[in-house]
């Protein structure tokens, strides 16, 4: 079958389309899935921008080379005798491979507590070398014709979710997991910094799961601003150089701008801020616009660099990280897996099909990556592969 492998054979690109054997089930608890749609994530693009992974502390959590693609939806084509999901079922694939999927018993402390997102065995190399689908080999991937999933990794897709947006369960689930880690208070204004797919997914999740919260999104490009309005943002603010847009943010929330030029921040800012870019400037901006005793939810896949932390301690604010998928407690809905709630968000139409702006065949790998990187000129938001047509 066709699959995209990140191997750095080409120093100018890093990945290539190769032929690999179809993956075989490790045991009866697994299923084989024909990939309908596989999204290109911002964390994937970091690989092509830097020709490597940009978080050195995580170096023990993947193998090399590895098959790409962790935003995955498809249909089951083979199921083991201990997997209850039938052949033909449409499924969202949780890419993370924690203790249960690896067959590790007893499970680690985090998995035993229901926090599989931070499983201690992700780098154990038990059963597979990588921490997740998209960072390992032998299991297929989202940028491949097929992928394997343990029964605990598979979530049935509601009929009302079209194939075109089915892989968006993954970025929406990241946002949902973060929101359940530290929920906004009922009615608090929420600012989403960034209107790429993570920001739009976060806004859609807030609108659907915390409808009393007014949502503001800051967007860099006009097409992102249009998408932010399409997901129901109450306010859309276009980012300007030297934080000139801080005055507009201050007006929305009744705050005061202090400082000068690149040292500006808000006093009395947003009680809940979602950082959804991963750039270090956006992390600094998020900390500067949060309210005193507020929360910054860090969803962007940021790496090493310089961040101004002084507003964090000055405002006595919280910085909460989230990146994966897990069970969580909603204040009124009870306990659910973040992917199941994400599928509810998609089923409700909270994230329109128009956010998937481009679809490519695997043969068009280079064009797909180039389009996803060039957000300004390509007007790209979510770029996806359709490996099986």
Q: Which domains does the chain have, with CATH numbers?
A: 2-157+352-385 (3.90.180.10), 176-324 (3.40.50.720)
Report how far residue 330's alpha carbon sits from residue 33's, in angstroms, rounded to the nearest whole number: 30
190-193 and 215-219 as β-strands: parallel, antiparallel, unpaired? parallel
Q: What local confidence, expressed as pLDDT, does residue 56 receive?
A: 62
Q: What is the pLDDT of residue 53?
A: 54
Average pLDDT over residues 228-237: 97
Confidence of residue 57 (pLDDT cuts 50, 70, 90): low
Stated pTM of the model: 0.96
Rounded to 5 degrees, what are φ and ψ at 43? -65, -30
The percentage of residues in the chain with a pLDDT greater than 90, rounded to a whole number, is 88
Question: Who contacts 278 (Cβ-Cβ below 8 Å, separation ≥6)?
Answer: 42, 43, 198, 300, 301, 302, 303
Tell me the three state secondary structure of residue 338.
Answer: helix
pLDDT tens digits, 165-200: 999 999 999 999 999 999 999 999 999 999 999 999
- Reduced to 3 states, what is the DSSP secondary structure of residue 156? strand
CA distance 194 to 300: 9
Supply the pLDDT for residue 55: 65
Q: Kindly write down the DSSP assignment for every residue of 218-230, as one continuous string.
A: EESSHHHHHHHHH
Residue 296 clears pLDDT 90, i.e. is over it: yes
């Amino acid at each position: 079958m066709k699959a995209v492998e990140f191997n750095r054979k080409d120093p100018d690109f890093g990945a290539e389309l190769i032929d690999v054997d179809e993956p075989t089930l490790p045991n009866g608890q697994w299923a084989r899935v024909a990939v309908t749609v596989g999204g290109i994530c911002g964390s994937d693009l970091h690989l092509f921008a830097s020709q490597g992974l940009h978080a050195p502390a995580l170096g023990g959590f993947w193998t090399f080379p590895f098959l790409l693609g962790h935003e995955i939806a498809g249909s089951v084509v083979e199921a083991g005798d201990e997997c209850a999901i039938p052949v033909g079922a449409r499924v969202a694939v949780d890419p993370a491979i924690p203790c249960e999927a690896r067959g590790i018993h007893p499970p680690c402390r985090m998995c035993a507590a229901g926090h599989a997102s931070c499983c201690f065995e992700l780098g154990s190399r038990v059963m597979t070398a990588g921490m997740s689908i998209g960072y390992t080999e032998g299991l297929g991937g989202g940028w491949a014709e097929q992928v394997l999933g343990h029964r605990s990794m598979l979530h049935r897709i509601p009929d009302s979710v079209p194939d075109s947006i089915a892989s968006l369960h993954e970025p929406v689930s990241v946002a949902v997991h973060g929101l359940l880690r530290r929920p906004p208070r009922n009615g608090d204004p929420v600012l989403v910094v960034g209107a790429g797919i993570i920001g739009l997914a976060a806004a859609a999740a807030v609108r659907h799961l915390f409808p009393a919260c007014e949502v503001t999104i800051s967007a860099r490009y006009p097409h992102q601003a249009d998408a932010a309005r399409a997901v129901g943002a109450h306010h859309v603010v276009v980012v300007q150089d030297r934080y000139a847009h801080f005055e507009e943010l201050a007006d929305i929330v009744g705050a005061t701008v202090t400082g000068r030029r690149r040292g500006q921040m808000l006093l009395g800012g947003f009680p809940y801020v979602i950082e959804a870019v991963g750039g270090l400037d956006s992390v600094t901006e998020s900390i500067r616009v949060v309210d005193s005793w507020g929360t910054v939810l860090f969803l962007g896949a940021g790496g090493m660099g310089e961040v101004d932390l002084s507003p964090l301690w000055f405002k006595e604010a919280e910085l909460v990280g989230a990146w994966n998928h897990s069970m969580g407690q909603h204040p009124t809905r009870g306990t659910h897996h973040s992917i199941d709630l994400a599928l509810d968000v998609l089923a409700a139409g909270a994230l329109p099909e128009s956010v998937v702006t481009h679809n490519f065949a695997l043969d068009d790998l280079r064009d797909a990556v180039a389009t996803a990187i060039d957000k300004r000129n390509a007007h790209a938001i979510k770029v996806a592969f359709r490996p099986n047509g």
